[in-house]
Amino acid sequence: MIGLADIQAAAERIKGRVLRTPFLYSDSVSRATGAEVYLKLDNLQATGAFKERGAANRLSMLTEDERKRGVVAMSAGNHAQAVARHAKLLGINATIVMPKFTPVTKVTRTQGWGANVVLHGDMLADAAAHAHFLADSEGMVFIHPYDDEGVMAGQGTMALEMLEDVPDLDALVIPVGGGGLIAGCAVAAGAIKPGIEVIGVEVAAYAALAQRLAGMPVSVGGPTIAEGIAVRDIGLNPLAVVRAHVHDVIVVPERAVEEAIALLAEGAKTVAEGAGAAGVAALLAFPERFAGKKVGVPVCGGNIDARILANVMLRNLLRDGRLLRLVLEIPDRPGVLADISGKIGGHGGNIIEVSHQRLFASPSVQSAELEVMFEARDVAHGAEIVQLLEESYTVRRI
């Protein structure tokens, strides 16, 4: 099991090659959750995620013979780019095996760091098996994304930095995929500040660690926006550390992750991917658990597709009542559209989209159906506009 000395040594190895990211108090997240929240912005790393810490440390530990042989890793995202980047910095040949379904942008980014990318298999498990085959057949060193003591120690440098910057933290809330990050952070935090709570966060569709700790059979799967922590198997090395040092594991619903992404973007002015926002999601989903506490939360990745981010923001506006979609039954006569737009605009609403159906949507040829989407300041403002429209028209909210 790794110790504080391993993590401190990792911090020295990666100094100058991995960014010491800001650890900042967030007023917006604190007000939304009732805790005193500090955000560790590892989404600002060169590859957009914390994975650089573990990759940089593990590659720095290679012997000269191992460097000549080259390295191989399997990943569909952030670990791939981290290994590729730090292999290039050290002059080591790197091969990254990625599943065939991996988005083109992730493939090209990994290739952009100089790695040889091999697309193999339909699932990450297929890619992992092929990466092990290449390691065995070609003599390359396999760099595991989380089940490796050197990787775990590198990830633990995040907790070192957090507690150096804010020594009186009450808790760390850490997203959990394979367990490398929380294992490293738990060892560092427990040694530096005994008694600090270290709490893991998993998304509901992939709660493998919570199930293991509860003695349940592991059953995971399904779509999730937090694909970076959508891991079926917790690493054996991280699991041993978690059992010894982690206080609790929280499982959050998908909606909380979306709300956390939106809060970070709108409130904290920082972009997070689903896995990177999972810590904030835990504070939103269980505010009573953290009320009044000083909490450190890593924004551990920011590699989110722009289209997905836009959809998340729009969905959150709809949930918050700041974006409203209405269907109005209206008489088919001149001036009605002008009247409706005047009511919305005159009351401070901003019309986003209008769809006018005359022929088929309405039950009568003397009427029509109008679908309108508009933006309001808040829930109360939107309700005022809806009430104003209901005085003249039949209104249905969708």
Contact 270, 261 (CB under 8 A): no
pLDDT of residue 159: 98
Residues 86, 211 within the same domain = no
pLDDT of residue 105: 78
Residues 115, 103 within the same domain = yes
How far apart are alpha carbons 55 and 342 in whole angstroms?
58
Read off the pLDDT of each residue in 216-233 and give the average, rounded to a whole number: 91
The tokens for 38 are 């500090």
At a CB cut-off of 8 Å and minimum separation 6, what does 330 contact? 336, 340, 367, 368, 369, 370, 393
CATH of residue 61 = 3.40.50.1100
The tokens for 139 are 């003599």
Of the three residues 259, 293, 314, the one that is the final residue of a domain is 314
Q: Which amino acid is at 373?
A: M
Residues 353, 340 within the same domain = yes
The band of 359, judged by pLDDT with boundaries at 50, 70 and 90, is low
How far apart are alpha carbons 17 and 88 in whole angstroms?
12
pLDDT of residue 363: 56
Residues 159, 308 within the same domain = yes
CA dihedral 333, 337, 343, 349 (to 10 degrees): 160
CATH of residue 391 = 3.30.70.260
Read off the pLDDT of each residue in 311-320 and give the average, rounded to a whole number: 92
Q: What would you report as the CA-atom Rg of the chain, rounded to the nearest whole angstrom?
A: 25
Q: What is the DSSP letter of 333?
A: S
Domain that holds residue 70: 54-142
The tokens for 113 are 């760091």
Residues 199, 266 within the same domain = yes
How far apart are alpha carbons 146 and 55 in whole angstroms?
10
Sign of the CA dihedral running 10, 86, 50, 139: negative
Q: How many CB atoms lie within 10 A of CB 357?
A: 12
Question: First vs last Cα of the chain: how many Å apart?
Answer: 54
Residues 296, 182 within the same domain = yes
Element (H, E) at 376: none
What is the pairing mode between strands 71-74 and 94-98? parallel
The tokens for 248 are 């609790």
Q: Which amino acid is at 53?
A: R
Packed helices 104-112 and 78-90: angle between N→C axes, nearest 10 degrees: 10
Domain count, the chain: 3
Res 207 pLDDT > 80: yes
The band of 362, judged by pLDDT with boundaries at 50, 70 and 90, is low
pLDDT of residue 356: 80
Residues 276, 392 within the same domain = no
Which residue intervals of the chain are DSSP H helices?
4-14, 27-33, 51-60, 64-69, 78-90, 104-112, 124-138, 149-165, 180-192, 208-213, 236-245, 254-266, 278-285, 287-290, 306-320, 336-346, 379-390
Of the three residues 294, 314, 334, the one that is the final residue of a domain is 314
Contact 97, 120 (CB under 8 A): yes
Q: How many CB atoms lie within 10 A of CB 81?
A: 27
Higher-confidence position of 9 and 100: 9
